[in-house]
Amino acid sequence: MISLAVALPKPPSPLCRVTSWGALGSGRGAAVSNFSYSSPLTETVLLGVLAQRAPGRRLEWDGAKMKIRNAPELNQYVHKPYRKGWTL
């Protein structure tokens, strides 16, 4: 089972976001709210939403395959079918 425990940095203050944006625009530094922070956080929150559909069950998430191993009936909510001509 893959652990979802991720060491996330302390959220910045609102003022820090403004100064970070200015530094990023001038080529100094990286964005404070970048994908290395937001992606794991979003995935964790959405897994919590899926867990609400399986009360009392421990779910085993395979992040690499983006599937729940022990509850295949919930995988229908992870990906939706795309219309013809649209893919990721």
Q: Per-domain residue ranges for the chain?
A: 14-77
Stretch 28-50: mean pLDDT: 79
pLDDT band at 38 (very low <50, low <70, confident <90, very high): confident
- Is it the case that residue 52 has pLDDT exceeding 90? yes
- How far is residue 85's CA from residue 70's CA, in Å, rounded to a whole number? 32
* Whether the predicted model's global pTM rises above the 0.85 cut: no
Residues facing residue 61 across a β-bridge: 68
Answer whether 77's CB lies under 8 Å from 69's CB: no
Torsion of CA 33, 37, 40, 43, to 10 degrees: -10
Average pLDDT score, the chain: 79
- How far is residue 12's CA from residue 33's CA, in Å, rounded to a whole number? 9
